[in-house]
Homo-oligomer: A and B are copies of this chain.
Protein backbone atom coordinates (compact mmCIF):
# COMPACT_ATOMS: atom_id res chain seq x y z
CA UNK A 1 0.00 0.00 0.00
CA UNK A 2 1.05 3.62 -0.50
CA UNK A 3 2.99 5.50 2.15
CA UNK A 4 1.02 7.53 4.63
CA UNK A 5 0.19 11.16 3.96
CA UNK A 6 -0.34 13.37 6.98
CA UNK A 7 -2.32 16.50 6.17
CA UNK A 8 -1.98 19.29 8.69
CA UNK A 9 -1.45 23.01 9.12
CA UNK A 10 2.08 24.25 8.39
CA UNK A 11 4.44 25.58 11.04
CA UNK A 12 2.87 24.16 14.18
CA UNK A 13 2.79 20.87 16.05
CA UNK A 14 -0.86 20.97 17.02
CA UNK A 15 -2.87 17.75 17.01
CA UNK A 16 -0.85 16.54 14.03
CA UNK A 17 2.07 15.96 16.38
CA UNK A 18 0.32 13.03 18.08
CA UNK A 19 0.10 11.35 14.67
CA UNK A 20 3.71 12.22 13.78
CA UNK A 21 5.02 10.71 17.02
CA UNK A 22 3.17 7.44 16.41
CA UNK A 23 4.44 7.26 12.83
CA UNK A 24 7.99 8.00 13.96
CA UNK A 25 7.89 5.38 16.75
CA UNK A 26 6.57 2.88 14.20
CA UNK A 27 9.34 3.76 11.74
CA UNK A 28 6.59 4.13 9.13
CA UNK A 29 7.36 6.17 5.99
CA UNK A 30 5.07 9.16 5.66
CA UNK A 31 4.80 12.38 3.76
CA UNK A 32 4.12 15.43 5.89
CA UNK A 33 2.08 17.54 3.51
CA UNK A 34 2.34 20.80 5.42
CA UNK A 35 6.10 20.46 5.90
CA UNK A 36 6.75 19.45 2.31
CA UNK A 37 4.46 21.90 0.65
CA UNK A 38 4.36 24.82 3.02
CA UNK A 39 0.57 24.81 2.73
CA UNK A 40 -2.11 23.41 4.99
CA UNK A 41 -3.46 19.98 4.35
CA UNK A 42 -6.82 18.96 3.05
CA UNK A 43 -9.82 17.53 4.91
CA UNK A 44 -11.43 16.20 1.77
CA UNK A 45 -14.55 18.34 2.25
CA UNK A 46 -13.91 20.24 -1.01
CA UNK A 47 -13.84 17.06 -3.08
CA UNK A 48 -17.35 15.56 -3.44
CA UNK A 49 -15.82 12.24 -4.50
CA UNK A 50 -14.49 11.71 -0.97
CA UNK A 51 -17.27 10.07 1.00
CA UNK A 52 -15.44 10.24 4.34
CA UNK A 53 -14.37 13.89 4.56
CA UNK A 54 -13.00 15.03 7.91
CA UNK A 55 -14.43 17.92 9.88
CA UNK A 56 -10.95 19.23 10.65
CA UNK A 57 -7.24 18.46 10.37
CA UNK A 58 -5.23 16.34 11.01
CA UNK A 59 -6.17 13.91 8.27
CA UNK A 60 -4.31 10.73 7.44
CA UNK A 61 -4.51 9.49 3.87
CA UNK A 62 -3.46 5.96 3.14
CA UNK A 63 -4.24 4.65 -0.31
CA UNK A 64 -7.95 5.33 -0.73
CA UNK A 65 -8.54 5.84 2.99
CA UNK A 66 -9.18 9.36 4.29
CA UNK A 67 -9.26 9.35 8.10
CA UNK A 68 -9.90 12.29 10.41
CA UNK A 69 -9.96 12.73 14.20
CA UNK A 70 -6.60 12.21 15.90
CA UNK A 71 -7.83 9.38 18.11
CA UNK A 72 -9.34 7.52 15.14
CA UNK A 73 -6.10 7.91 13.19
CA UNK A 74 -4.16 6.47 16.12
CA UNK A 75 -6.61 3.58 16.45
CA UNK A 76 -5.87 2.78 12.81
CA UNK A 77 -2.10 3.12 13.14
CA UNK A 78 -2.01 1.26 16.45
CA UNK A 79 -3.44 -1.85 14.83
CA UNK A 80 -1.07 -1.70 11.89
CA UNK A 81 2.18 -1.08 13.73
CA UNK A 82 1.87 -2.92 17.02
CA UNK A 83 1.32 0.32 18.92
CA UNK A 84 -1.61 -1.17 20.84
CA UNK A 85 -2.32 -4.67 22.20
CA UNK A 86 -4.12 -7.11 19.94
CA UNK A 87 -6.62 -8.12 22.60
CA UNK A 88 -9.95 -6.30 22.47
CA UNK A 89 -9.66 -5.20 26.10
CA UNK A 90 -6.12 -3.86 25.73
CA UNK A 91 -6.90 -2.16 22.46
CA UNK A 92 -9.94 -0.39 23.92
CA UNK A 93 -8.08 0.60 27.09
CA UNK A 94 -5.30 2.16 25.01
CA UNK A 95 -7.94 4.08 23.10
CA UNK A 96 -9.63 5.22 26.31
CA UNK A 97 -6.29 6.61 27.51
CA UNK A 98 -5.88 8.45 24.20
CA UNK A 99 -9.38 9.94 24.44
CA UNK A 100 -8.58 11.24 27.91
CA UNK A 101 -5.33 12.78 26.64
CA UNK A 102 -7.40 14.40 23.88
CA UNK A 103 -9.65 15.92 26.53
CA UNK A 104 -6.66 17.52 28.29
CA UNK A 105 -5.38 18.79 24.94
CA UNK A 106 -8.71 20.51 24.25
CA UNK A 107 -8.64 22.09 27.70
CA UNK A 108 -5.02 23.23 27.18
CA UNK A 109 -6.14 24.95 23.98
CA UNK A 110 -9.14 26.53 25.63
CA UNK A 111 -6.94 27.91 28.40
CA UNK A 112 -5.73 30.52 25.89
CA UNK A 113 -8.88 30.54 23.72
CA UNK A 114 -11.83 30.20 26.12
CA UNK A 115 -14.21 32.34 24.06
CA UNK A 116 -13.62 31.11 20.52
CA UNK A 117 -10.91 29.75 18.26
CA UNK A 118 -11.89 32.27 15.59
CA UNK A 119 -10.81 35.18 17.81
CA UNK A 120 -7.29 36.32 18.64
CA UNK A 121 -5.81 35.61 22.06
CA UNK A 122 -5.49 39.38 22.54
CA UNK A 123 -9.27 39.64 22.29
CA UNK A 124 -9.89 37.19 25.12
CA UNK A 125 -7.03 37.78 27.54
CA UNK A 126 -9.02 38.44 30.73
CA UNK A 127 -11.17 35.37 30.08
CA UNK A 128 -8.06 33.31 29.31
CA UNK A 129 -6.51 34.31 32.62
CA UNK A 130 -9.54 33.09 34.53
CA UNK A 131 -9.74 29.84 32.60
CA UNK A 132 -5.98 29.19 32.83
CA UNK A 133 -6.12 29.66 36.61
CA UNK A 134 -8.69 26.87 36.84
CA UNK A 135 -6.79 24.70 34.37
CA UNK A 136 -3.47 25.05 36.22
CA UNK A 137 -4.85 24.70 39.75
CA UNK A 138 -7.50 22.02 39.25
CA UNK A 139 -7.39 20.27 35.93
CA UNK A 140 -3.68 19.63 35.28
CA UNK A 141 -3.10 18.04 38.72
CA UNK A 142 -6.28 15.97 38.43
CA UNK A 143 -5.43 14.61 34.97
CA UNK A 144 -1.78 13.87 35.83
CA UNK A 145 -2.76 12.15 39.07
CA UNK A 146 -5.15 9.96 37.13
CA UNK A 147 -2.33 8.91 34.77
CA UNK A 148 -0.12 8.28 37.82
CA UNK A 149 -2.81 5.97 39.23
CA UNK A 150 -3.03 4.16 35.88
CA UNK A 151 0.74 3.56 35.94
CA UNK A 152 0.65 2.41 39.58
CA UNK A 153 -2.09 -0.11 38.82
CA UNK A 154 -0.56 -1.64 35.70
CA UNK A 155 0.01 -5.30 36.66
CA UNK A 156 3.01 -5.36 34.29
CA UNK A 157 4.70 -2.49 36.12
CA UNK A 158 4.66 1.30 36.25
CA UNK A 159 7.08 1.69 33.32
CA UNK A 160 4.15 1.44 30.90
CA UNK A 161 0.55 2.56 30.67
CA UNK A 162 -0.69 -0.62 29.01
CA UNK A 163 0.97 -3.99 29.46
CA UNK A 164 4.74 -4.15 29.06
CA UNK A 165 5.18 -2.37 25.73
CA UNK A 166 5.03 1.08 24.24
CA UNK A 167 1.68 2.15 22.76
CA UNK A 168 0.44 5.25 21.00
CA UNK A 169 -1.03 6.34 24.33
CA UNK A 170 2.55 6.64 25.60
CA UNK A 171 3.88 8.70 22.70
CA UNK A 172 0.80 10.90 23.23
CA UNK A 173 1.37 11.20 26.99
CA UNK A 174 4.97 12.22 26.26
CA UNK A 175 3.66 14.98 23.96
CA UNK A 176 1.10 16.12 26.51
CA UNK A 177 3.76 16.43 29.23
CA UNK A 178 6.15 18.20 26.83
CA UNK A 179 3.41 20.61 25.82
CA UNK A 180 2.31 21.37 29.37
CA UNK A 181 5.95 21.96 30.36
CA UNK A 182 6.37 24.40 27.49
CA UNK A 183 3.11 26.27 28.02
CA UNK A 184 2.79 26.19 31.79
CA UNK A 185 6.30 25.50 33.16
CA UNK A 186 5.56 26.44 36.77
CA UNK A 187 2.15 24.82 37.04
CA UNK A 188 3.21 21.63 35.31
CA UNK A 189 6.42 21.16 37.33
CA UNK A 190 4.34 21.62 40.49
CA UNK A 191 1.98 18.88 39.33
CA UNK A 192 4.72 16.59 37.97
CA UNK A 193 6.59 16.61 41.28
CA UNK A 194 3.61 14.73 42.68
CA UNK A 195 3.37 12.40 39.69
CA UNK A 196 6.93 11.04 39.34
CA UNK A 197 5.86 7.97 37.34
CA UNK A 198 4.28 10.17 34.68
CA UNK A 199 7.44 12.29 34.53
CA UNK A 200 9.61 9.16 34.27
CA UNK A 201 7.47 7.73 31.48
CA UNK A 202 7.70 10.97 29.49
CA UNK A 203 11.49 10.86 29.85
CA UNK A 204 11.63 7.21 28.80
CA UNK A 205 9.59 7.90 25.66
CA UNK A 206 11.84 10.85 24.78
CA UNK A 207 14.83 8.50 25.03
CA UNK A 208 13.49 5.81 22.71
CA UNK A 209 15.84 5.66 19.70
CA UNK A 210 13.37 6.65 16.98
CA UNK A 211 11.69 9.32 19.10
CA UNK A 212 15.04 10.77 20.16
CA UNK A 213 16.18 10.89 16.52
CA UNK A 214 12.92 12.58 15.54
CA UNK A 215 13.10 15.16 18.32
CA UNK A 216 16.65 16.05 17.25
CA UNK A 217 15.66 16.33 13.58
CA UNK A 218 14.34 19.24 11.57
CA UNK A 219 11.08 17.35 11.22
CA UNK A 220 10.17 18.30 14.79
CA UNK A 221 8.63 21.76 14.61
CA UNK A 222 9.48 23.72 17.77
CA UNK A 223 6.66 24.62 20.14
CA UNK A 224 5.36 28.10 19.35
CA UNK A 225 2.42 30.41 19.93
CA UNK A 226 0.47 29.17 16.90
CA UNK A 227 -0.02 25.69 18.33
CA UNK A 228 -2.17 24.22 21.07
CA UNK A 229 0.44 24.57 23.81
CA UNK A 230 1.30 28.27 23.96
CA UNK A 231 3.61 29.86 26.46
CA UNK A 232 2.00 33.05 27.67
CA UNK A 233 3.73 33.66 31.04
CA UNK A 234 0.65 35.45 32.38
CA UNK A 235 -1.34 32.21 32.06
CA UNK A 236 1.14 29.99 33.96
CA UNK A 237 -0.67 30.26 37.27
For A95, list chain B residues within 8 Å (CB): 69, 72, 75
Per the bound structure, the CA–CA distance linking A96 and B154 in Å amounts to 29
Per the bound structure, the CA–CA distance linking A1 and B65 in Å amounts to 36
A100 interfacial contact with B, CB 8 Å = yes
Within A102-129, which residues are at the interface with B (CB < 8 Å)? 103, 106, 110, 114-116, 118-119, 124, 127
Using C-beta atoms within 8 Å of the partner chain, give the interface range for chain A: 35 or more
A/B interface sample: 6 pairs, CB < 8 A: A48-B153, A51-B154, A68-B100, A71-B71, A75-B92, A116-B130
Pair A96/B127 contact, Cβ less than 8 Å: no
For A34, list chain B residues within 8 Å (CB): none
With A99-B69, A153-B53: A131-B115 Cβ-Cβ less than 8 Å: yes
A contact set with B: CB distance below 8 Å: 45, 48, 50-55, 65, 67-69, 71-72, 75-76, 89, 92-93, 95-96, 99-100, 103, 106, 110, 114-116, 118-119, 124, 127, 130-131, 134-135, 138, 143, 146, 149-150, 153-155
Q: Could you list 19 further interchain pairs (A-B, Cβ under 8 angstroms) beyond the known A75-B95, A116-B130?
A: A45-B146, A51-B154, A53-B146, A54-B96, A69-B95, A69-B99, A71-B71, A72-B92, A72-B96, A76-B92, A110-B114, A114-B114, A114-B127, A114-B131, A115-B127, A115-B130, A115-B131, A115-B134, A127-B130
For A76, list chain B residues within 8 Å (CB): 92
Per the bound structure, the CA–CA distance linking A96 and B58 in Å amounts to 12
